[in-house]
Structures are given as C-alpha cells and as structure tokens.
Amino acid sequence: LSNSSIGSSASTGNDNANGKQSEHERRRSNLINTQSLQNWDDMSMDSTSQEMGEAMRGMVESMQTRVDAQHRLLSEMEQRATQDNSFGKPENADQWSTLEVCYWLNSIHLQKYIDNFNSLSIDGSILLHDLDESILANELGIKKIHLKKCFREMNKLKEAVTSVLSNQLFCREKATEAEKSRRIEELEKKVTTLRQNNLKLKGDIELMKEQAKQQSLQASSQLNKEANIKSKTSPSNESATAQKDTKQ
C-alpha cells in the first residue's frame, strides 16, 4: 500500500472516532447555566431552593385536595348505594343524578374521569342523549383508547332503559285491556239488570191493568144490582102513594 493510502485510511479512522465521540458527548444542561453557576451565592441558592420547595408543597397540597375530594365522593356514592336500592340502577339511567353517573363510571373502571363528569354536572339524561365522541374526547377528556368502551357501556344503559320502557308499555296496554274488559262486563251486567227491571215493570203494568179491569167490572156489577133493587121497590111506593090519595 502507498503512504498516501495509509494516511487516508488513518485520517478516515480518526474522523470516525471523532464522530462517534461527538455522538456520545454529553450535552450541556439547559436547566442550569453552568457559566453563571459560579456567580451564585449561598443566599441565591437558598432562595431558589425555598421557591422550589414552596412550588412542590403547593403541587402536593393541590393533589391531596383532589384525592380527598374524590375519596369523599366515593364514600358518598357507596353510602347512597347501601341505603337506596334504586341508586345507580341501569334501568333508571335516564333519571340518574350526577352522583349516580359517577358511581357508574367507577363500576366500569373509568373512575379517572369522575372529576370531569362531576365538574360539568353530567346527569343521566345528558349521558344517554347528549354526548357524542367529540364531547367525550374534547370536553370530558376521555382518551381515545377508552372511547369505544364508554360507548359500549352507554349502549348497555340505553338497552336497559328501553327494555324497562317496553315492559311498562306492555303492562300498561295489558292493564288497559283488562280495564276495558272490566268496564264491558260491568256494562253488560247493567244492561241485563235494566232488561230484568223492564220485564218486571211490564209485568207490574199488566197486573195493574188487570186489577183495574176487575175493579171496573165489580163497580159495574154493583151499579147494576143497585139499579135492579131500585126498579123493584119503585111500584110498591107508587101504590102506597095512590092509596093515600084515595083516603084523602
């Protein structure tokens, strides 16, 4: 090999080595200006440390406040579920309160979104009728991986509500039919009673007519008897009157 080739190879090897070294070279921190670090005094360090500590305490307190609020909310939900058998029932989902919606989120293991639903007062009516993918993702913070699950669970609630409404409608129709049958039966009984009363009334009228006829015949017979008696007694009275006149 020529000297130029050897030199070229050595140069290339050095360049590659330098390149690898530059790739693994540690970059300067963009958090602390190392050039001005020597200008910091103890007071500045203490002040910065104090500010960072206060910021950390504020973050911890804020997080603790949220955790405490969520714990109180979960405790209230559990208490309501224990005291009220109808609390959080799927068949009543369209009438749920915001607390029941939060209870449902906890039951389907999406409790991380309880704060968002609670802060926007999402009740059962809004849950079943007003939420779409855009609102769930953008306003309620539902992550894309949870959207399909959320819709599946919402559809289950809608099916439960629809099933109950269908049963109620069926029972109402059956009750209406039973009421119609009962009223028809009552009307038929009334018609039968009226017919019986009508027949009885006709019988009473015929009886009264017969009685009136008998009374009329009896009265006529009595009048005839009286007339016959008068006709028999009239000649003797005339003879007695004539004899009286002769004596005079």
Cα gap 55→59, rounded to integer Å:
6
HSE of 159, CA atoms in CB hemisphere, 13 A: 6
Spell out the domains of the chain, with CATH numbers in brackets: 69-176 (1.10.150.50)
Length of the chain measured in residues: 248
Contact 123, 54 (CB under 8 A): no
Take residue 234 and report the two structure tokens written for it.
Answer: 């009239």
Report the b/e string of 29-55 with b at 16+ CB within 10 A.
eeeeeeeeeeeeeeeeeeeeeeeeeee
The pTM score is 0.48
Please report, as a single letter, which amino acid is at residue 48. Answer: T
Name every residue whose Cβ is closer than 8 Å to that of residue 209 and which is 6 or more positions away in sequence.
Answer: none
pLDDT by position in tens, the chain (length 248): 444 444 444 444 555 445 444 555 555 555 555 555 555 566 666 677 777 878 888 888 777 777 777 788 888 888 888 888 889 999 999 999 999 999 999 999 999 999 999 999 999 999 999 999 999 999 999 999 999 999 999 999 999 998 876 766 667 766 777 777 788 888 888 888 888 888 888 888 888 888 888 888 888 888 887 777 777 776 555 555 556 556 55
Structural contact between residues 76 and 99, judged by C-beta atoms closer than 8 angstroms: yes
Q: How far is CA 144 from CA 105, 112, 123, in A?
A: 16, 14, 22
CA nearest to 33, candidates 44, 22, 25: 44
Structure-block tokens of residue 68: 């405490």
Phi-psi map region of 121: left, alpha, beta (phi>0 left; psi -120 to 50 alpha): left
- Tokens found for residue 12: 């290339």
Taking only the tens place, the pLDDT of each residue in 48-84 is 777 787 888 888 877 777 777 778 888 888 888 888 8
> Tokens in use for 219?
């009265």
Neighbours of 84 (CB within 10 A): 11
